């Protein structure tokens, strides 16, 4: 028999609402777990499956933090778990298809353990069509909540557990910024720190502004307090996160404090390595470039998505820059921070892209001298403007373009590796190599994967490694003093 929906809390997503931007002042509230919720998880376990970007990884750490505060402990396997949360990604159709498959697979666990609470969270939960489909054909999903109300997990779990009804609560508008959220961090010396939420860019292909709401920056005091605490706990690296991270502070005009200012302040907190992702080219200002140059803890690495090299396509994508202006900003960055490593994201097969446009992209890749890129075939996202554009390019041509683009991109990866041959680089040791226990692996300041022989006691430390072999995807070296 199918479960009823709890109508007291019922809120389904609405993309039209999510599209609208308000001038509302964003309030800040502090998370507190009520006494009633503190023991719900005793002797119970949870599992979280995370898909998508670092934003989701950070959100999963918060979900885990809240669940552990409620008394839950991590489950060893799916058949042991009392709560399973799918923290999903909606960026492309193939990302979603994978998750639909996983959701189907989890049905078996629910059959074996009817008390299991299966939750759908993250960006897919923000989509109208997804929620409709889950309600209709995925009866074994008990709980759906979105990206704006993670802090309300305790209430949702309580209702799902005790009322035995399905709980659906997805807000299409962002609410307050919630501070004081507990976190169970996955890593002992590398941490994610959200500095802003949402995106106001509305690139025509992209679902993120709908799933994550309007741009909201956290206060500098909260960010600095969080990073100070991480430094005290021995963390070596923090990655500042935002969908449009270098727009930090633009929504808090009264503060007159933007991304470059934040980098300078974070540089003084005792963290060895500071990284950030992801930046938009038209928000990359001189102040940020100079902060990277002047701050010894800010790493010489920059991910700067370009998406296309064709001005026609860039315009249709609503990217607010041209091929020429992108290259200008990039050159300015490279002049300000000599030796900086730059990577990018590129989409091929966007509806208006013809052979000439694609060749412009190849030309840009060559001129920009990227040291890496994530490359994608355009995927239609329902509700975005580009989903309505007429798409005349045959699938086979798109695949060919992706293949040709990857050849060019891979040559850039190799050049980026080769420039470190015979040089000594600093590596933050992550762990042992996937393929060999005697080999340690970690990342250099320029974000290159480095493997070398060493003792596992070095894990978590920054060591000097002399590079002896440079491959496309990694470097090999020897530890030196
Ligand atoms: N906020 C970041 C990242 C967004 S998602 C930024 O703006 O850079 C990461 C990448 O996914 C994007 O840079 C883009 O290249 C790709 N992407 C987003 N929507 C897509 C779509 N509908 N089809 C194909 N690729 C997409
Ligand atoms: Fe999507 Fe564009 Fe925002 Fe990036 S900047 S999240 S690609 S809308
Ligand atoms: Fe995916 Fe949402 Fe991140 S769509 S890429 S998980 S913001």
> How do residues 120-163 score in pLDDT, each as one tens digit?
999 999 999 999 999 999 999 999 999 999 999 999 999 999 98
Which one of the ligands is nearest to 305 CA?
A: 1
Please state whether 376 falls in left (phi above 0), alpha (psi between -120 and 50) or beta: beta
Q: Which atom of ligand 2 is nearest to the CA of 200?
A: 3
Q: Is the Cβ atom of 282 under 6 angstroms away from ligand 1?
A: no
Does some domain include residue 189? no
Q: Is the Cβ atom of 206 under 6 angstroms away from ligand 1?
A: yes
Q: How many domains does the chain have?
A: 2
Q: Is the Cβ atom of 400 under 6 angstroms away from ligand 1?
A: no
Question: What's the distance, CA 230 to chain centroid?
Answer: 20
Q: Is the Cβ atom of 90 under 6 angstroms away from ligand 1?
A: no
Which pLDDT band, with edges at 50, 70 and 90, does 360 fall under? very high
- Residue 385 and residue 318: Cα distance in Å, rounded? 10
Last residue of a domain, one of 169, 201, 236: 169
Does some domain include residue 329? no
Output the pLDDT for position 401: 98
Output the pLDDT for position 215: 95
Q: Which of 56, 201, 283, 386 to mutate to test the pocket of ligand 2 (most atoms within 8 A of CB)?
A: 201
Output the pLDDT for position 23: 80
Does some domain include residue 136? yes
Does some domain include residue 325? no
Question: 319 CA distance to ligand 2 centroid (A)?
Answer: 9
Does some domain include residue 13? yes
Rounded average pLDDT over 43-49? 98
Q: Is the Cβ atom of 126 under 6 angstroms away from ligand 1?
A: no
Q: Look at residue 48 and tell me whether its pLDDT is greater than 80.
A: yes
Question: 465 CA distance to ligand 2 centroid (A)?
Answer: 37
Output the pLDDT for position 254: 86
Question: What's the distance, CA 446 to chain centroid?
Answer: 19
Q: Look at residue 1 and tell me whether its pLDDT is greater than 70.
A: no
Does some domain include residue 449? yes
Question: 91 CA distance to ligand 1 centroid (A)?
Answer: 7
For ligand 1, atom 4: residue with the closest CA: 243
Tokens describing residue 377: 């075939």
- Residue 272 and residue 227: Cα distance in Å, rounded? 11
Question: 252 CA distance to ligand 1 centroid (A)?
Answer: 25
Q: Which atom of ligand 2 is nearest to the CA of 345?
A: 7
Domain region containing 460: 424-480
- Residue 472 and residue 27: Cα distance in Å, rounded? 47
Q: Which atom of ligand 2 is nearest to the CA of 319?
A: 2
- Residue 361 and residue 375: Cα distance in Å, rounded? 12
- State whether residue 417 is helix, strand or coil: helix
Q: Look at residue 362 and tell me whether its pLDDT is greater than 70.
A: yes
pLDDT tens digits for 278-312?
999 999 999 999 999 999 999 999 999 999 999 99
Asked if residues 237 and 272 have their Cβ atoms less than 8 Å apart, the reply is yes
- Residue 118 and residue 116: Cα distance in Å, rounded? 6
Which pLDDT band, with edges at 50, 70 and 90, does 436 fall under? confident
Model confidence pTM above 0.95: yes
Question: 346 CA distance to ligand 2 centroid (A)?
Answer: 12
Q: Which of 17-26, 36-45, 242-251, 345-354 has the lowest mean pLDDT?
A: 17-26
Q: Is the Cβ atom of 208 under 6 angstroms away from ligand 2?
A: yes
Question: 380 CA distance to ligand 2 centroid (A)?
Answer: 14
Q: What is the CATH number of the domain that holds 85?
A: 3.40.50.12160
Query: Residue 179: which of 231, 219, 233, 209 has the closest Cα?
Result: 219
For ligand 3, atom 7: residue with the closest CA: 208
pLDDT tens digits for 11-44?
899 988 999 998 888 889 999 999 999 999 999 9
Spell 445-474 as b/e; 16+ CB within 10 A means b. Answer: bbbbbbbbebeeeebbebbebebeebeeee
Does some domain include residue 51? yes
Higher pLDDT, 22 or 188: 188
**Ligand 3 binding residues, C-beta < 6 A:** 52-53, 55-56, 89-91, 122-123, 207-208, 211-212
pLDDT tens digits for 374-418?
999 999 999 999 999 999 899 999 999 999 999 999 999 999 999
Output the pLDDT for position 68: 98
Query: Residue 217: which of 172, 183, 253 has the closest Cα?
Result: 253
Does some domain include residue 161? yes
Question: 323 CA distance to ligand 1 centroid (A)?
Answer: 18
Question: 207 CA distance to ligand 2 centroid (A)?
Answer: 8
Output the pLDDT for position 298: 98
Q: What is the CATH number of the domain that holds 442?
A: 2.40.50.140
Output the pLDDT for position 7: 82
Which pLDDT band, with edges at 50, 70 and 90, does 434 fall under? confident
Asked if residues 303 and 278 have their Cβ atoms less than 8 Å apart, the reply is yes
Output the pLDDT for position 437: 86
Last residue of a domain, one of 136, 169, 202: 169
Q: Which of 96-105, 246-255, 321-330, 471-480 has the lowest mean pLDDT?
A: 246-255
For ligand 3, atom 1: residue with the closest CA: 89
Q: Look at residue 81 and tell me whether its pLDDT is greater than 70.
A: yes
Output the pLDDT for position 78: 95
The contacts found for 135-143 with CB under 8 angstroms, 24 or more apart, are 135/5, 135/166, 135/168, 138/103, 138/104, 138/107, 139/2, 139/3, 140/106, 140/107, 140/110, 140/111, 141/103, 141/166, 142/3, 142/117, 142/118, 142/166, 142/167, 143/117, 143/118, 143/119, 143/167, 143/168
Query: Residue 156: which of 138, 148, 168 has the closest Cα?
Result: 168
- Residue 87 and residue 123: Cα distance in Å, rounded? 8
Distances, alpha carbon 320 to alpha carbons 12, 280, 282, in Å? 33, 10, 7
Last residue of a domain, one of 169, 192, 209: 169
Q: Which atom of ligand 2 is nearest to the CA of 244?
A: 5
């Amino acid at each position: 028999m199918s479960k009823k929906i709890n109508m007291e809390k019922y809120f389904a997503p609405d993309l039209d609402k999510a599209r609208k931007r308000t001038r509302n002042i964003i309030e800040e509230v502090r998370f507190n777990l009520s006494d009633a919720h503190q023991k719900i998880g005793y002797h119970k376990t949870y599992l979280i499956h995370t898909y998508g970007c670092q934003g989701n990884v950070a959100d999963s750490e918060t979900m885990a933090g809240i669940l552990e505060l409620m008394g839950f402990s991590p489950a060893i396997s799916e058949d042991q778990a009392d709560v399973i949360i799918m923290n999903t990604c909606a960026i492309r159709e193939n990302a979603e298809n994978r998750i639909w498959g996983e959701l189907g697979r989890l049905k078996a666990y629910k059959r074996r353990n009817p008390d299991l609470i299966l939750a759908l969270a993250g960006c897919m939960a923000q989509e109208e069509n997804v929620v409709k489909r889950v309600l209709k054909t995925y009866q074994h999903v008990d709980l759906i909540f979105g990206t704006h109300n993670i802090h309300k997990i305790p209430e949702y779990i309580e209702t799902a557990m005790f009322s035995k009804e399905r709980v659906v609560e997805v807000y299409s508008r962002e609410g307050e910024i919630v501070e004081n959220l507990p976190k169970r961090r996955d890593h002992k010396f590398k941490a994610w720190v959200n500095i802003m939420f949402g995106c106001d860019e509305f690139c025509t292909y992209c679902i993120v502004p709908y799933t994550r709401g309007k741009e909201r920056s956290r206060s500098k005091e909260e960010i600095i307090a969080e990073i100070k605490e991480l430094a005290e706990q021995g963390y070596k690296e923090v990655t500042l996160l935002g969908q449009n991270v270098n727009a930090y502070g633009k929504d808090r005009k009264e503060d007159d404090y933007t991304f470059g200012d934040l980098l300078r302040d974070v540089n003084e907190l005792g963290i060895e390595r500071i990284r950030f992702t992801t930046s938009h080219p038209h928000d990359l200002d001189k102040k940020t470039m100079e902060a990277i140059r002047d701050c010894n803890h800010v790493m010489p690495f920059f991910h700067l998505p370009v998406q296309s090299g064709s001005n026609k396509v860039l315009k249709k994508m609503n990217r607010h820059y041209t091929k020429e202006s992108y290259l200008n900003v990039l050159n300015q960055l490279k002049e300000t921070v000599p030796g900086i490593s730059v990577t990018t994201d590129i989409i091929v097969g966007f509806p208006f892209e013809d052979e000439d446009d694609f060749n412009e992209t190849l030309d840009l890749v060559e001129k920009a001298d990227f040291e890496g890129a994530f490359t994608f075939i355009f995927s239609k996202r329902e509700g975005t403007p580009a989903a309505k554009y007429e798409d005349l390019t045959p699938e086979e041509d798109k695949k060919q373009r992706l293949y040709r683009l990857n050849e060019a991109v891979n040559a850039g990866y190799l050049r980026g590796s080769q420039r470190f041959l015979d040089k000594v680089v600093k590596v933050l040791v992550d762990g042992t190599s996937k393929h060999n226990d005697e080999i340690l692996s970690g990342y250099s300041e320029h974000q290159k994967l480095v493997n070398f022989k060493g003792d596992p006691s070095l894990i978590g430390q920054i060591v000097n490694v002399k590079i002896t072999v440079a491959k496309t995807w990694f470097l090999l070296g020897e530890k030196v003093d």
